[in-house]
Amino acid sequence: MAEERMMLHLHREINELKKKIVLEATLVEDNLREGMKALITRDINLAKRIIKRDKDIDAKEVEIEEDCLKIFALYQPVAKDLRYLVAFLKLNNDLERIGDLASNIAARAKSLAKKEALEIPVEIPKMAEIVQKMLKDTIDALVDLDGAKATRVLDTDDKVDEMNSTMYAIVGEKIQKNPELVDSWMQILGISRYLERIADHCTNICEDLEYMLSGRIQRHPSLGR
């Protein structure tokens, strides 16, 4: 009976932890979407608000990590419960990094808004649209514990990598034509790199979800059990 009560408390703690992670993910998703809006609309005040809100995401990341460690200490989970907590720790870190990258995009948007307006290559909003969909699908996969949704995210990452590579050629051509705008164009390239890295973190989260649900290590399939 005592063991059953312990397991009941453990699963309640895990469910509460999941709610906190979903809230963190929602904050991250909002910051990424609004960071791109600040870039396109040259909205300095919006960019400032996004940068400031990143502290809330950092605080959530610390709170979730402390909760995970507390659960490890109190309940010493095993098997599937242990996999869940390990995955939560890892994806919590990825979410915080996505939040940092969204804040970086906002910082670039703020800087660019103070300079001569550029015609932003269509590849940037297209890439952002794909990455935002990846992040939304990642959050949905997390909420629903849906391995199929996670797999779709994994299949999209190569497309973002290709678009980021294309941006290097585009920016190089722009700098050759207008070398006086090199700083602005390098900031645009930086945003492309940030989007590509966000896609990588979404991929990491979905790989961790795969491990959480099946015990199979997606990064190294031969190591799965």
Please tell me the predicted confidence (pLDDT) of residue 140: 87
Domains recognised in the chain with CATH numbers: 2-223 (1.20.58.220)
Please tell me the predicted confidence (pLDDT) of residue 24: 94
Report the alpha-carbon distance of residue 131 to residue 192 in Å, rounded: 11
**Length of the chain in residues, anyone?**
225
Per-residue tokens: 173: 């051509």
Angle at 76 between CA 70 and CA 79, to 5 degrees: 125
Please tell me the predicted confidence (pLDDT) of residue 51: 96
Report the alpha-carbon distance of residue 205 to residue 147 in Å, rounded: 11
Angle at 101 between CA 37 and CA 217, to 5 degrees: 125
Please tell me the predicted confidence (pLDDT) of residue 95: 94
Three-class SS state of 37: helix
Per-residue pLDDT of the chain (225 residues; tens, 9 = 90+): 777 888 888 999 999 998 999 999 999 999 999 999 999 999 999 999 999 999 999 999 999 999 999 999 988 888 888 888 888 898 899 999 999 999 999 999 999 999 988 889 999 999 999 999 999 998 888 888 888 888 889 999 999 999 999 999 999 999 999 999 999 999 999 999 999 999 999 999 898 888 777 766 665 545 444
CA 29 vs. chain centroid, Å, equals 8
Report the alpha-carbon distance of residue 24 to residue 17 in Å, rounded: 11
